[in-house]
Structure 1
């Protein structure tokens, strides 16, 4: 039990996704006394399982279809733990499902003939995140091994879900930053009260670098652009009411005002406003 508690502490204290995945495999393999372990994550785009952590040198990544042509793919498909004592016992496999097969390519990938396999889907609630695969080349896994793996799998699912959520958030933030920084026009993103949330470097340049981002963050945008504040406020109110993009034209600059609409529990909501500044040509 002490080892399990130590593992749980590692699970919920590790923020680095790569280290977390390696820790999951390393600990689980030792805890269950397996020869090798592989963690597959579910790829929703092509509906497949991709090996993220696989122990052993010179082993290329493995991609599995979610079907009955592999024990691991079948376990994920049917959402069940499988403890197969002999993966080449076709008679026993057919008792589970008449079309179930062992994928012999796995043996070739790791360099030896597998004897037994223990696999369990990794989930957070009802959401399947991936599957954990443990193998032995000589002995078999016991019923107790199965129970031990089932015990820690729930905690692995929670920790993995939390880490993947953080990764997705960081990726979206980075994508947004890249998008903003690669647009030549000056851009400002505000909340619905016109308080500045984000700007790109072109906007700072437009202001003559009179401010740092820290100085203008959360500032009321019309206060920064006092010369056109009245018109800007009016146009923004129009966009907020209509949810339709509008433009503000002046002798010096053109501002496109865009509503940011998102779906929240199947309801559309206006969340932010984007301002794109463009100097007239000529």
Structure 2
């Protein structure tokens, strides 16, 4: 037995007036235009569709070509749902390219009632409208469920309004998906370039992975937003990119560097900065700061510019301790890995000298998470795989 959707318990609403509809459209389109995170755009799309046609719920379905499925991550009240491509009401609408009205879902064989059975929700009326990208290709569909006006079913006017939402949202969604694809491509390039810089000095790719994860943990511990912490995690693998221009005789020397050789080595910070500084991309601008400042010291005795205290960007202060922790804890051509207790003693000694005291304190607070990352991304595990 299915739980009946009790309309007697619903507070009936009226369809929007033209003025109210315009207000909803302007409100949501402004928000969507300024949003670059895909999940946030999908939420705004679902909310806009629901509010425009006064439905109880609205789902935004997308096509997953790789898996030949349809999926929704934004369906009010439920988590992700996946169905085979072409199945269900939404699948039929997408395959035909035509909108669908259903007044009573349980009298339509295309309705999949399994989700209702799982949640106890009773789907009655449905309207489904495909949306297209700029080339006219269908990339997904709106699906609104249960009209909340006394009529209880969707009308031709609802179709008109949802088609308007679909026309705008499909093009906006494609733009955001393209933006995310570009960002992911940038991340891959940045990580690969970071690995190149490290591999020339016989470091492993896992070094830049660990430094990235340590930096992310420290940024969150310092109270940065998830977005800013993720930005630093993406940019930090570029901290030593300038090493690509350092001669092998210096970079790979197994013993201690002479003063002249050390001066040459120090140039990698300025080289890295010069490689990255002219980009207008936020990720590369952040990477430029990290490359330039990760060897600056809190007491002003670092390089290349002798910056002191908060003159050093917080990104540089975070990456500094992340990089030193991983460098000391790893075997290098010129030394064996330090034991953990020895590294922690050094950090206590260098608190307020080499390192920002607040970053050291957060490092100690987050040490269990940092150790977990170190063990999970150890070079030995990487080589075995």
For Structure 1 versus Structure 2, the TM-score category normalised by the shorter chain is 0.5 to 0.7
- Separation of aligned partners in 1, 2:147 and 2:49: 17
* Aligned counterpart for 1:48 among listed residues 69, 73, 84: 69
Kindly tell me: are residues 218 and 25 of structure 1, through their superposed partners in 2, closer, same or farther at Cα, counting changes over 3 Å? closer
In structure 2, the partner of 1:208 is 265
Let me know the Cα RMSD of the aligned residues: 2.7
* Aligned counterpart for 1:31 among listed residues 9, 27, 52: 52
* Aligned counterpart for 1:89 among listed residues 107, 110, 117: 107
- Separation of aligned partners in 2, 1:26 and 1:218: 40
Kindly tell me: are residues 20 and 77 of structure 1, through their superposed partners in 2, closer, same or farther at Cα, counting changes over 3 Å? same
**Length, aligned pairs only:** 197
Structure 1 residue ranges without an equivalent (≥5): 91-99, 188-197, 220-282
* Distance apart, 1:144 and its partner CA: 0.9
Kindly tell me: are residues 132 and 43 of structure 1, through their superposed partners in 2, closer, same or farther at Cα, counting changes over 3 Å? same
* Distance apart, 1:202 and its partner CA: 4.5
- Separation of aligned partners in 1, 2:32 and 2:276: 36
Query: SS in structure 2 opposite 1:112?
Result: coil
| Equivalent residues of 1:39, 1:132 under 8 A apart | yes
* Distance apart, 1:89 and its partner CA: 2.1
| Equivalent residues of 1:114, 1:137 under 8 A apart | no
- Separation of aligned partners in 1, 2:244 and 2:60: 45
What does the per-residue CA deviation read over 1:141-165, in whole Å, with 9 as the maximum and x for residues that have no partner? 1111111101121111111111111
More helix by share: 2
* Aligned counterpart for 1:172 among listed residues 178, 182, 185: 185
Query: SS in structure 1 opposite 2:40?
Result: helix
Query: SS in structure 2 opposite 1:63?
Result: strand
Query: SS in structure 1 opposite 2:145?
Result: strand
In structure 2, the partner of 1:62 is 81
* Equivalence map 1:1-282=2 (5 Å): 1-56=22-77, 59-67=78-86, 69-90=87-108, 101-125=110-134, 126-136=136-146, 139-183=152-196, 184-186=198-200, 200=241, 202-203=243-244, 206=251, 208-210=265-267, 211-216=270-275
What does the per-residue CA deviation read over 1:201-225, in whole Å, with 9 as the maximum and x for residues that have no partner? 6526646240342324599xxxxxx
| TM-score normalised over the length of structure 1 | 0.62
Kindly tell me: are residues 55 and 5 of structure 1, through their superposed partners in 2, closer, same or farther at Cα, counting changes over 3 Å? same
Kindly tell me: are residues 128 and 109 of structure 1, through their superposed partners in 2, closer, same or farther at Cα, counting changes over 3 Å? farther
What does the per-residue CA deviation read over 1:144-201, in whole Å, with 9 as the maximum and x for residues that have no partner? 11111011211111111111110010011112222333355349xxxxxxxxxx9836
| Equivalent residues of 1:185, 1:202 under 8 A apart | no
| Equivalent residues of 1:186, 1:200 under 8 A apart | no
In structure 2, the partner of 1:190 is none
Kindly tell me: are residues 115 and 137 of structure 1, through their superposed partners in 2, closer, same or farther at Cα, counting changes over 3 Å? farther
More strand by share: 1
- Separation of aligned partners in 2, 1:148 and 1:118: 11
Kindly tell me: are residues 29 and 218 of structure 1, through their superposed partners in 2, closer, same or farther at Cα, counting changes over 3 Å? closer
Query: SS in structure 2 opposite 1:50?
Result: strand
Structure 2 residue ranges without an equivalent (≥5): 1-21, 202-237, 252-263, 279-385
- Separation of aligned partners in 2, 1:109 and 1:12: 36
- Separation of aligned partners in 2, 1:43 and 1:202: 41
